[in-house]
Structures are given as structure tokens and as C-alpha cells.
Copies of this chain bind each other. A is one copy, B any other.
Amino acid sequence: MGTITKALEMLNFFSRSRSHIGLSEFVKLTGRDKATVHRHLVELEENGFLEQDSVSRAYRLGPAILRLTGVREAAIPVRTVVRPIVRALAEDVGELAHVSLLQGRMLSPVFHFDPFEHGTQVHFDEAEMLPLHATSSGIALLAFGAEGLRNAVLSGALTEFTPDTPTDSERLKQAIEDARRAGYSRLDRAFDREVSSQGAPIFDAGGIAIGAVSVAVPAVRATPEKLETIKGKLLAAAAKLTESLGGRPSPAHPSEPTTGTASA
């Protein structure tokens, strides 16, 4: 593993519940030597990716990240574009919706919105990375993503999150096939024991899936009719997202005419 990766991985230890991390805590988390960890921390800090609390001496994520987000958003306003669309989708279907982008072999959440219309809600932490094989977003992405990614995931370890997680590659391959044919994916209780979700791919300019939009509902509310309603709106939102981000759908994607819009 390269030094750069070692340093950057440290940033992933931060989360909603862990906003400040001290030197010794980092040593425990990484399993690396204290001197090594310290030098990495210092170098990250010098570049603004971390900053040290002047009182507790613990480290937190630094201002460089904010600035870079600004630069990225100026070029490809993903967050800016995604926010209203996800919000509209979530409010429309009355359930939690989120968009995640591919990052390595995981999904990186970009924005989520829960209209909180019901007593039970789906738990969602924007700080946590999502697995590809156990989420509807992931399956949708694998179905229309780069071939290398598909092979890598199929031949890699498939962590079991619930009894319904597709942990053998044959079952996963089947799920991916189904998603490719349908243009979206449906997954029940595969990541969270009580959640059913549906995901649809978002494409880049090359017609490769780079992310996915998904609606998750508590399994108890997941009637076939409700899922069918969600499906239509989900696909419409996905198409809109692809378009707004300057992408075009894969030729393999069975893009139905967007609901309510007749094809010319």
C-alpha cells in the first residue's frame, strides 16, 4: 500500500459520531506506528486536510476540503444539481431517497433526503460508505458500470450484512443481469434487515454508470403497488440526473419514455 493511500485512509475514520480523533486513537484505528501516524497527520494538516484543535490537540477535517468542494461544484455541480431532484423525489414518494457516487469499490453518499412522513424511518448516515453488492444502488451501478468493476466485485469478498445479502457470486451475477434487463434494481432486506430499496443508474458522458439514485422504504410498507409507483418516479429522476450532469444513458439501458412524456 502506498504512503498516499495510508494517509488518505485516515480521513475515512471521521464520521458523524467521530468528528475529532487524537494521535493515540489514530494509532489504535490504523494499527500503524505512532511516529508514522504522526508524520502523516502533520503532513495532512500542512495541506489543510486536517486541522488540530488548539485546546484538545485532537485532529479534525480541515478547510482544504471545503475549498475543493467549492472548486468541484463549480465544474460539475453534482451536489447542487442533485439536491433539488432528490428532494423532489423523496417528497413525491414520501420515502427516503439518496444519490451516491462510485468511489473505488464502494458507494459514496452525496445527498439524501427523508420527508419523515411516517412513524418508522430508514436509518441513513451520509458519512458512511455503502457496499456495492448489498445495496440496490450498487446493483444498479454494477449492471451499467465498467466491466472491470463488475469482475472485481464478483471475484472479491461479499460481506454478509443480513441473511438475504447476496453473498455468492452466482446470485449476485443474477441480480445484476436482472437489473440490466429491467434498467433498475430491487433489493429486499439485503443490507438492512428491515429495508427494501430500489436503485437506478446515473450515467456520465461516456454512457458508463458513475452513481445511482435510490429510494429506500421500511419493508413493512413495501407493497408491490407502492414499489411500482416508486419505480416510475425513480427512473424519471435518474434520467433527469443523468441529463443534468451532462451524461447520456448507456445504449444497454432500456430507457423507457419518461413517464408522461411521449417520445417524438
Contact = CB atoms under 8 A, between A and B. Distances in A.
Nearest to A54: B206
Max chain B CB contacts within 10 Å: which of A4, A9, A109?
A4
Interface residues of A, number: 60
A68 B71 contact: no
A208 B67 CA distance: 21
A19 interface: yes
Interface of A: 2-5, 7-9, 11, 14-16, 19-20, 39-40, 43-44, 46-49, 51, 53-55, 60-72, 74-76, 78-79, 101-104, 108-110, 126-127, 129, 146, 204-206, 208, 210-211
Contacts of A44: 4, 8
How many copies are assembled? 2
A111 to B, nearest CB: 8
A88 to B, nearest CB: 20
Contact of A78 (B66, B76, B110, B204): B66
A93 to B, nearest CB: 23
Contacts of A76: 19, 60
A212 to B, nearest CB: 12
A72 to B, nearest CB: 4
A217 B252 CA distance: 55
B126 A14 contact: no
A54 B8 contact: no
Given A53-B205, A66-B110, A67-B103, 8 more contacts: A4-B4, A4-B43, A5-B47, A51-B210, A55-B204, A63-B101, A66-B108, A67-B126
